[in-house]
């Protein structure tokens, strides 16, 4: 998926004055990383700090 690699290389910078903080991840057993990365990128562009906890994360 070359388009995904290109999208990750153009990752937006963390905002200087964030309007909020969002923690994002994929619950176990979901392995869909693409949608999570798209949402995280959109949130960063909207001036949110984002913390990605990864994939297959336990809900606890």
Interval 29-60: pLDDT, tens: 776 778 888 888 889 888 999 998 888 777 77
Cβ atoms of residues 29 and 56 within 8 Å: yes
Annotate 7-30 with b (16+ C-beta within 10 A) or e (fewer): eeeeeeeebeeeeeeeebbbeeee
The domain limits of the chain are 2-57
**CA-CA distance, 55 to 50, in Å (whole number)?**
15
Structure tokens at 60: 């606890």
The structure's pTM equals 0.67
Query: pLDDT class for 16, splitting at 50, 70, 90?
Result: confident
């Amino acid at each position: 998926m070359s388009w995904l690699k290109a999208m990750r290389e153009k990752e937006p910078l963390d905002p200087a004055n964030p309007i909020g903080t969002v923690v994002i991840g994929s619950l176990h057993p979901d392995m869909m990383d693409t949608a999570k990365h798209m949402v995280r990128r959109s949130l960063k562009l909207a001036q949110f700090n984002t913390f990605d906890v990864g994939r297959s994360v336990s809900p606890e």
